[in-house]
């Protein structure tokens, strides 16, 4: 009897250990169909994100294309210092929240965001991309009204790249962009 209880305990322990070491499956992607050219590589998805949010005043954005780039659980996370309190914080938005809150402003005022430099760290199917950006109101503006860094977390599910998160901080006079983020390192 002792031997069978020990044997059963050993079998349970080995089984639980094997389960604990089994990788968690990647959640099923959202239903939006992306243009395969937009999600085929890190370069492609980065270009697509910047392209889809950019346009002159009065120009509608392709929000279905925007949605198709993001994982179903993705977040867009603007961060910065509250001018009234001086406290630095972050807001967590879904892609739909971003469309609802920022879409009308982008379309009304015009907004073109261009990548200035990029640093990519990739391990297997995940990538962290620090993408330094410059923002303009019109496509042909010479001087940006804003600069900053977008931190992209990307996932490749074996078929395509997904944006999991975009976390960003705009440059301020007391927090300039470091020189190492003004040159690309892919």
**pTM for the whole structure:** 0.81
Domain ranges of the chain: 31-181
Residue 164, pLDDT score: 98
Q: Which residue has tokens 């993001």?
A: 70
CATH architecture for residues 31-181: Roll (3.10)
Bin 110: left if φ > 0, else alpha if -120 < ψ < 50, else beta. Answer: left
> pLDDT (tens digit, 9 = 90+) per residue, 101-131?
999 999 999 999 999 999 999 999 999 999 9
Spatial distance between the Cα atoms of 105 and 55, rounded to a whole number of angstroms? 11
pLDDT tens by residue, 155-177: 999 999 999 999 999 999 999 99
Please, which pLDDT band fits residue 21 given cuts at 50, 70 and 90?
low
> Mind listing the pLDDT tens digit for each residue in 123-144?
999 999 999 999 999 999 999 9
Which among 144, 103, 102, 115 has a CA at the least distance from the CA of 51? 115
């Amino acid at each position: 009897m002792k031997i069978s209880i020990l044997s059963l305990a050993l079998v349970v322990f080995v089984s639980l250990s094997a389960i604990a070491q089994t990788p968690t499956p990647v959640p099923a992607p959202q239903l939006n169909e992306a243009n395969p050219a937009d999600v085929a590589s890190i370069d492609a998805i980065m270009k697509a994100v910047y392209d889809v949010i950019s346009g002159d005043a009065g120009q509608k954005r392709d929000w279905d294309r925007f949605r198709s780039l993001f994982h179903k659980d993705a977040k867009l996370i603007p961060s910065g210092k509250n001018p009234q309190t001086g406290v630095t914080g972050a807001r967590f938005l879904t892609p739909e929240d971003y469309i609802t809150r920022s879409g009308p402003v982008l379309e009304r005022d015009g907004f073109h965001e261009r990548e200035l430099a990029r640093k990519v760290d990739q391990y297997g199917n995940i990538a962290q991309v620090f993408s330094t950006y410059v923002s303009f109101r019109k496509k042909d503006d010479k001087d940006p009204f804003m600069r900053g860094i977008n931190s992209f977390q990307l996932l490749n599910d074996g078929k395509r790249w997904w944006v999991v998160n975009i976390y960003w901080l705009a440059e301020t006079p007391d927090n300039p962009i470091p020189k190492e983020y003004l040159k690309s390192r892919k």
